Amino acid sequence: MRIDELLRGGTTHSFEFMPPKSDEESRVLERTMTDLEPLHPSFVSVTYRGGRESRQRTFDLVTQIQRGSRLTAMAHLICVGHSRAEMRDILKNYLDAGVLNVMALGGDIPEDPNLVASEFVHAMDLVELARETGDFSIGVAAHPLGHPRSTDLASDRFYLARKLSVADFAVTQFFFLVEEWSHLVEELGALGVSKPVLPGIMPVTTLGGIERMTSMGSRVPQELVARLVAADGRGGPQSVRAEGIKAAVELCEQLLDRGAPGLHFYTLNRSTATREIYAALSR
């Protein structure tokens, strides 16, 4: 199904996977999808880091999911390293495979300068090409605190609003305070945008995860850090994990109370934390 239609039908819950790089990672991902399938996700998305090999792994996984009719799949696409003609072919291949949902992203600039060449300047260019190429349901990325490469928050919101004038919905980077999502939606509303903004969810389950998530552009609030440190003092890593799951459940409940159109879980190809959060929300 088309994700824009699913969003019009009510609250969604969705999961994000990464294409496997090895046979062992493939087995782990297959177990994860099997574990999560009984939760009847509205859709799943598959990331793409760039490069021909990664592109093929994403295409293979998305089309495998789509052919199996197990789940509705969304393919990630990035601007970096692509010509318009090449990207048009990729989009047409997805259409031929029956994949109608795509996430149009700018993409991280690779360390190898030989891979930077691109005929796209911004993600907006890719959104427009996808719209021209076929009847896709198109998602874009949103950053509650602003994209790391944005010069200021006002311009970040302006360009996000431009993307959403053509795209159908947005999915946020993960965050930890409900106010960050609320402010994002309010600021887009002030710019005349009312399309759905799905909050991205990723629990902090280790003390080491605090630094990693901060390096990925998501601010871990001090009150959450204090909760996790206190949990570590009470019972070590297992208590930290339990407290992180509890905090994620609280965030999800607050988001749904404020009218979030759904919840999008970053799984890192593992199912346990996502299933625990989902089970707590279902009670």
Active-site residue list: 16
Sign of CA dihedral 206, 212, 218, 222: positive
Give the phi and the psi of residue 198 in degrees, each rounded to 5. Answer: -80, 125
Task: Name the H helices within the chain.
Answer: 3-9, 23-36, 52-68, 84-96, 123-133, 153-166, 178-190, 208-215, 222-235, 237-257, 272-282
Give the C-alpha separation, 274 to 18, whole Å.
15
Contact 227, 247 (CB under 8 A): yes
3-state secondary structure of 138: strand
C-alpha of 6 from chain center? 16
Q: From the CB of residue 31, how many other CB atoms can be counted at a distance below 10 Å?
A: 13
Calculate the alpha carbon distances from 161 to 2, 41, 115, 152, 170 in Å.
21, 27, 29, 15, 10
Instruction: Report, in angstroms and rounded to the nearest whole number, the Rg of the chain calculated over CA atoms.
Output: 18
